[in-house]
Amino acid sequence: MERHIRDVLVRPLVTEKSTRLMSETNAYAFQVAPDATKTQIRQAVEQIFNVRVLDVRTMWVRGKQRRMGRFTGRRPDWKKAIVKLAPGQRIPIFEGM
């Protein structure tokens, strides 16, 4: 079953490291759906933001152990994507951050 493009990208990641990547290499970071493929991520970014994607790199981020008093738990694992855009292309939601 094909997923809707809005379901592929969960949220943009705005961190110190992603901001540095954005300014130095024109790459943007997103949290994506766990079962999303690189092709689906590329198509979603190109269609939603109207830009040209050169490269997509994905990785799994492991959830951290957390405690609440004497009880321990674990945050869920999630998938992260670094999307590199063509020179001169920008994603406006990241501007001004």
Q: What is the CATH number of the domain that holds 42?
A: 3.30.70.330
Q: Say if 24 falls within a structural domain.
A: yes
Q: Say if 42 falls within a structural domain.
A: yes
Q: Say if 36 falls within a structural domain.
A: yes
Instruction: Give residue-wise pLDDT tens across range 4-63.
Output: 888 999 999 999 999 999 999 999 999 999 999 999 999 999 999 999 999 999 999 999
Q: Give the phi and the psi of residue 64 in degrees, each rounded to 5.
A: -90, 155
Instruction: Give residue-wise pLDDT tens across range 51-94.
Output: 999 999 999 999 999 999 999 999 999 999 999 999 999 998 77
How far apart CA 47 and CA 91 sit, in angstroms, is 12
Domain count, the chain: 1
pLDDT > 70: percent of the chain: 94
List of residues 6+ apart from 60 with CB closer than 8 A = 77, 78, 79, 80
The domain of 39 spans 5-87
Q: Say if 92 falls within a structural domain.
A: no
Q: Say if 79 falls within a structural domain.
A: yes
pLDDT reported for residue 2: 67
pLDDT reported for residue 46: 96
Which pTM was predicted? 0.88
